[in-house]
Structure 1
């Protein structure tokens, strides 16, 4: 187990280094000059050159990269070009909002996806399966931004069931905070629920038609025990994989949802920073999201051996 964990940590570290290089180079490939944006379009070349020197953009790229990595390791991401606020403070303010939204959306996706997947697997060839499959097809086909706009128009503006925008911290006002996050979480989690449903159904169908399940039924094991003890339990490995991958994707893909519902999360911060060519903020945000994605996948790999001790990867988990 320790050997496997060390191997995965080493892989994660290499992935993080490569990701930091891609992020650093990719940000600088964006059109526009942050020094010009900060100094103003009508600034003279001397002023722009002074701003570039102040930001360190006049130095060679390798020097800029190693300075960026050295400061990032200590948690120092510099200051925003646009506001002058320390980037660490901006991320510390916006990241919790996105994490709360992502966790809530994933809870919605897992609950809805598991229920629909179990129903589709148990009632194969009947109307409950067709209904569950229709739900997943609809959720995967409809764009999130379009569904979000419709939800705001009908559920918020016309019916007034949910607020159209705004955010309240669940840690300060739990019920009100959950109420404000419910509609964005439903919209964001819908497509992910469809993925969980399809994977759960496929895994349970394979398990319920296996020989050992037929043997258990022949020995008199009840239908409920077969479904939950064998079918659902054996599908948890697949669901865990999907949840791990989707949770990282939720954090990274909350940009549209946060924009529609005016949530002060890291997605909105990223979009605003891209528009203003705020290099320090974009670099820090993308690096934080990448790190969270890598860490989540590492935890999912470790959880495999907890959920099912039979799982071994090339003998390294022993």
Structure 2
């Protein structure tokens, strides 16, 4: 079984390479279609033709598209993502400086979603078609429908500006001060976690309801097992693949949603970095951030696939 698992994981790792190349090619190509010549932006005021050409040569903008792409991919493979056209800071350094803020928000948001969503889904499933079930599912529908940025502004108004319980803006690195970092991260994480909590609650309720109605559970009840043991030792294990799938999709969605949340809370994360780069037409920054996000998503999906094989070995045959 271990050899089969290793082959399955190796196959998934191999599949990452063409996906990564396709994603980087599309991003690089789309950046070339952006209107305007970035060399004109960084050549200074009233630049001469010689100065514009010098900037193009400096950033390799004078070369054919495929040559630029191949050079960028090759340098990226060696850890060189070029430098920012806006600040001259190495793009990799900018990513490593801002990424921890984003990862902390996503981690706390996912944790809140699981810790709140799973128990709510369990309560709804065990009390199906009762007022409690209806109430939980109703709040779940609202949580999915409410925009994250609108909820973020409500949280800022209610808990940061009116009561001053939490900071309205800014962030602290977790490595510098863990308590302060979590304190600054709680409001933006709550804004992101609302939809995630609702989605996990709905999926947990749906999947667990099917398990509780199965012959397998009826047999466990006939053997005298308590409801608590049936749910938490058998039921949740049987829906583990479903929960992993939802969590994997949720992490990918949270990474995208942080762009808006970081703007609302003025958090210097990777979302803010890519927005600044896009507005300034800073191609190296945008391309580097997107590459980092693609790699992050692919790694998360790989981890989810590995966990699949641990929780349900039958996935190895697929």
Give the TM-score band, short-chain normalised.
Answer: over 0.9
Matched residues in 2 for 1:261 and 1:7: separation? 41
Distance verdict in 2 for CA 1:41–1:252, change over 3 Å:
farther
Tell me which residue corresponds to 1:54.
58
Equivalent residues of 2:80, 2:92 under 8 A apart = yes
1:270 aligns with 2:291: no
Stretch moving more, 247-256 or 291-300 = 247-256
Equivalent residues of 2:174, 2:182 under 8 A apart = yes
How many pairs does the alignment contain? 314
Matched residues in 1 for 2:317 and 2:165: separation? 49
Tell me which residue corresponds to 2:304.
300
Alignment counterpart, residue 17 of structure 1, candidates 21, 26, 41: 21
Equivalent residues of 2:100, 2:173 under 8 A apart = no
Equivalent residues of 1:208, 1:230 under 8 A apart = no
1:109 aligns with 2:113: yes
Pairwise CA distance, 1:50: 2.1
Tell me which residue corresponds to 2:68.
64
Pairwise CA distance, 1:306: 1.1
1:226 aligns with 2:257: no
Residues 90-169 of structure 1: pairs in structure 2 closer than 5 A: 90-169=94-173
Q: Report the secondary structure of 2:169's partner residue.
A: coil
Alignment counterpart, residue 184 of structure 1, candidates 184, 188, 193: 188
Residues 237-252 of structure 1: pairs in structure 2 closer than 5 A: 237-252=241-256
Pairwise CA distance, 1:41: 6.0
Stretch moving more, 137-146 or 224-233 = 224-233
Equivalent residues of 1:114, 1:196 under 8 A apart = yes
Summarize deviations over 1:120-151 as a string: whole Å, max 9, x none: 11111112212211221111111111111111
Distance verdict in 2 for CA 1:304–1:181, change over 3 Å:
same
Summarize deviations over 1:158-199 as a string: whole Å, max 9, x none: 121211011122222222211110001110111111111111
| CA RMSD after TM alignment | 1.3
Matched residues in 2 for 1:313 and 1:196: separation? 27
Normalized against structure 1, the TM-score is what? Answer: 0.95
Normalized against structure 2, the TM-score is what? Answer: 0.95
Gaps of 5+ in 1: none
Tell me which residue corresponds to 1:313.
317
Pairwise CA distance, 1:312: 2.7
1:256 aligns with 2:260: yes
